[in-house]
Chain A
Amino acid sequence: MLVEFADVSKVYGREIVALDCINLVIEKGEFIFITGPSGAGKTTLLKLIYMDEFPSKGEVRVGDYSSSTIHGKDIAMLRRKVGVVFQDFRLIPDLSAFENVAIALRAAGKKAADIRKRANIVLHSVGLSAKRHQLPPKLSGGEQQRTAIARAIALRPSLLLADEPTGNLDPDTALGIFDLLVDINRAGTTVVVATHDLRHAERLGKRVVRLDAGRLVSDEGGK
């Protein structure tokens, strides 16, 4: 899924400029890091992609959807094609890992048998088969993030967004999560990771877009 930012600015309230005239193209199948200090606009940029926010100026295009024309049900349809993972996992604490993954499938109207099959497959692919009936509080941080990733990829999205996915994890666990994201990318999903931690970007040798105070200051590496 192609993502394109055309002269995008985002201003909160009257004068808090989160993003300032961003032009950016993310190609299909890419693995890209968005980095920069806190408050640089990384999270806002991701929100504009899954259309939780809309540009104050300019246009964001994600596949066939445009921020200028999308509305109502189309936002839901877009989000079925865009998986999102957060630093704090966003799992429902009183539902098992399996149920947390099944939610995404159920919301998309899948049949019960398909939900069971697909949820088991994705949980297996993130290495959580054995713990699928555990509640999130009983899982380690890394396992919770794997559950969240499983939920995000359950509907086979063409784009996966991760906002500081390893922010709450120790370095070793973080490595495992990044390896998992690389695997997902190899399988064909475009992956966009927002992080202030540049080491992973350097280690993986992927494209890195740097933001500072809402401006795109550099765009290096990759293909």
Chain B
Amino acid sequence: MYHLRQALSGIRRAGFMSVACIIIMTCSLLILGIFLMATANLREVLRYAHEKVEIVAFLHDDTPREAADSLMAEIGKIPYVETIRYVSPSDALERLRTEFGTRSYILDALDINPLPASVEVTLKPQYRLKERITGVAERIRQFPQVEDLSYGRGWITRLERLVRAVALVDLGVGLIVGIAAVVTVSYTVRLTLYARRELIRILKLVGATDAFIMQPFLIEGAIHGSISIVLSLLVLYAGYRVINVKVPQAVFMSWQLILFFVVFGLFVAMLGSWVSLRSFLREKVE
């Protein structure tokens, strides 16, 4: 209770410096927040792309429907498989016609349908990873009815590489923003500490432990941090709403991400206070 009262009176006494501290921290958190949101949206795009991943098995020209059905039954036994769909040559041609649109008359020149029948297979979302897809695809290739296979191996690899790169950039930017925030916060806190240097000296003189002296300042840091977190989240949400009007698919931070943001903000605020406190406590009484 004493520490909380000290922290509140500290904020009051620091006045302008408290406000400056909150503004600087809000800005740092905003930078991080914008990045996190951009990443969240990019991941959303990647997730959507991943959903589109499917294996297409082209069948030999003379494969009868019964053989295709037995193939589908066999594929259905493979774990991880979510959906299996048969596309007959005429279905395939119809699809092509739709894709060609107004130029579909080109297809009319064909005497016969050159398209093979195919079976389209999708995996359960959690298994849409390169290794799994390759594994399943190679099993499907073993069936005699299958002439050729397509499952976008190249772009799956590229996609997964991109996801990994983004995660790495995430970490890097988080680290840089984190360090920058800790440094700016610690410098701002140092200024507020400077004003209360006498109190710290007296506390040391009368035998207060470092932990006792630190507590109100750390609470103060946590209060600054909380205010900055709320402010930056409000600004981010407002920004998200504006963008949302133009891009309805845009997503805001998930609950997990917000939780991370809050913990990160508090951690940075308290670490910033702690860093300057350490150097102040090392000073002599006189």
Contact of A90 among B201, B209, B210, B284 (CB under 8 A): B201
> Does the CB pair A73–B209 fall under 8 Å?
yes
Interface residues of B (CB under 8 A from A): 2, 13, 198-199, 201-210, 212, 284-286
The CA-CA distance from A94 to B284 in the complex, in Å, is 23
> Does the CB pair A84–B209 fall under 8 Å?
no
Contact with B along A96-119 (1 / 0, CB 8 A): 000000011011110000000000
The CA-CA distance from A109 to B206 in the complex, in Å, is 12
Residues of A contacting B207 in the complex (Cβ-Cβ under 8 angstroms)? 76-81, 104, 107-108, 155
The CA-CA distance from A72 to B203 in the complex, in Å, is 15
Residues of A contacting B: mostly: helix
> Does the CB pair B209–A103 fall under 8 Å?
no
> Does the CB pair A47–B206 fall under 8 Å?
no
> Does the CB pair B198–A92 fall under 8 Å?
yes
Interface size on A, residues (CB 8 A): 25
Is the C-beta of A151 less than 8 angstroms from some C-beta in chain B? yes
Q: Chain B's nearest CB lies how many Å from the CB of A107?
A: 3
Interface residues of A (CB under 8 A from B): 43, 47, 50, 52-53, 72-73, 76-81, 84, 90, 92, 94, 103-104, 106-109, 151, 155
Beyond A52-B285, A90-B198, A107-B212, 10 additional pairs, beta carbon < 8 A? A52-B284, A77-B207, A79-B206, A79-B207, A80-B207, A103-B203, A103-B206, A104-B206, A107-B207, A109-B212
Residues of A contacting B208 in the complex (Cβ-Cβ under 8 angstroms)? 76, 107-108
A80 and B206 in contact, given A90-B201, A92-B199, A106-B2 (Cβ under 8 angstroms): yes
The CA-CA distance from A8 to B204 in the complex, in Å, is 24
